Chains A and B, each alone.
Chain A
Amino acid sequence: QLYESGPGLVKPTETLSLTCTVSGASISNSNYLWGWIRQPPGQALEWIGTIYYRGPTWLNPSLRTRVSLSVDRARDQISLRLTSLTAADTGTYYCARATVERPGALYSGYPALYDWWGQGSQVTVS
């Protein structure tokens, strides 16, 4: 199970912090990467970024200057931080597990299949 938590409402220019708590699997498992995907209301899915528990992260170039990801191995949690929020950042934020398809994914972030998703956290920037 993946469970996202965070504030439902944030103000423009502020920073969004979301946490994903993983149960039933350890984030310190080299078979998996972990990531965030978001979806504005009525729009398509957008990949935000992926992280490996040892620290490497891979970010969507369109968000790279505003996004950071981190892991807390002791708590089996991953976190997302998104700065300088605007209304365009409103949407549902999903935490997901990506199963490594090839060993090279541990160095590049792909190929890794997002096969298990959380229920999503609704975020409104207003």
Chain B
Amino acid sequence: VLTQSPGTLALSPGDRVTLYCTASQRVPGNFLAWYQQRPGRTPRLLISDAFVRATGIPDRFSGSGSGTDFTLTIRRLDPEDFAVYYCHQYGDSLSFGGGTRLEIK
């Protein structure tokens, strides 16, 4: 089970934010991904293998962590970054977290 926190965050463009994803058991191989989902859109892969940015993803997005605790940091929020973010582990079967919603303050 993946638990994401916080559930919702209200921030301003230009802010720095860290999102958290905690697994109930160690994620083998740190096979942990992050997706962004804008309203009405398909989830977009941001990070795989805990810290590898997907092709075309700006470097203001960074992932870190290992074992059971993982984070996604967005260095300077752009207006287009206000969306829902999901973590996803694919090291032991597959599961998704409940999501964190970033809202504009």
Contact = CB atoms under 8 A, between A and B. Distances in A.
Q: Do A and B bind each other?
A: yes
Which residue, B29, B86, B94, has most C-beta atoms of chain A within 10 A? B94
Interface stretch (A67-75, A76-84, A109-117): A109-117
Interface string B87-105: 0101111111111000000
B31 A120 contact: no
B31 A45 contact: no
B83 interface: no
Interface string A96-126: 0010011000000111111101111000000
Contacts of A117: 42-43
B9 interface: no
Interface in B21-61: 28-29, 31, 33, 35, 42-43, 45, 48-49, 54
Contact of B86 (A45, A50, A112, A120): A45
A112 B43 contact: no
Contact of A114 (B90, B92, B97, B98): B90
Nearest to B52: A113
A46 interface: yes
Given A44-B98, A46-B96, A111 B91 contact: yes
Contact of A110 (B49, B86, B92, B96): B92
B90 A113 contact: yes
A112 B28 CA distance: 12
Interface string B56-97: 000000000000000000000000000000101011111111
Interface of B: 28-29, 31, 33, 35, 42-43, 45, 48-49, 54, 86, 88, 90-99
Interchain residue pairs A-B with the least CB separation, the first 10: A45-B96, A111-B31, A47-B94, A44-B98, A117-B42, A111-B90, A44-B99, A113-B48, A110-B90, A111-B91
